[in-house]
């Protein structure tokens, strides 16, 4: 059982590292990096479940009987695009936040908001 599932566990650990960075860190860039890591790990998870023992890349060729499952690949292609779109938007927001608040630390931003109230 250990052999059969260990790589999923590694993926879970990777995911959680990303997730931890998102929620524990106050720096916005770090948060975004964390988000990227989180998402990339989910991609790894999807791709690893597509793998078949003895299979090859899903491009049809003569003499090959077994292919890896193409569907997760397709899904993850889409998900990667979604990921970069989110990152781009998040970075744009970060730049604007820096201009408006002069800081990209969650703490400072919230302090300034509270003062304004």
- Which parts of 79-98 interact with another protein (CB under 8 A)? 79-98
How far is 58 from 99, CA to CA, in rounded Å? 47
Residues 13-52 touching another protein, rule: CB under 8 A, are 13, 15-16, 19-20, 22-33, 35-40, 42-52
Q: How many residues bind another protein (CB under 8 A)?
A: 96
* Bridge partners for 12 per DSSP: none
Nearest to 32 by CA among 96, 86, 81: 86
Q: Cα–Cα distance between 113 and 61 in angstroms, integer?
A: 61
Q: How far is the CB of 15 from another protein (least distance, A)?
A: 7
- Is residue 111 involved in binding another protein (CB under 8 A)? no
């Amino acid at each position: 059982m250990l052999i059969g599932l260990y790589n999923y566990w590694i993926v879970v650990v990777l995911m959680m590292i990303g997730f931890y960075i998102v929620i524990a860190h106050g720096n916005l860039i770090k948060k975004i990096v964390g988000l990227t890591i989180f998402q990339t790990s989910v991609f790894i998870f999807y791709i690893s479940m597509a793998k078949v023992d003895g299979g090859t890349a899903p491009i049809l060729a003569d003499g090959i009987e077994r292919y890896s499952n193409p569907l997760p690949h397709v899904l993850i292609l889409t998900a990667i695009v979604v990921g970069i779109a989110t990152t781009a938007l998040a970075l744009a927001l970060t730049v604007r936040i820096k201009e408006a608040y002069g800081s990209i630390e969650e703490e400072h931003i919230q302090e300034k908001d509270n003062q304004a109230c």
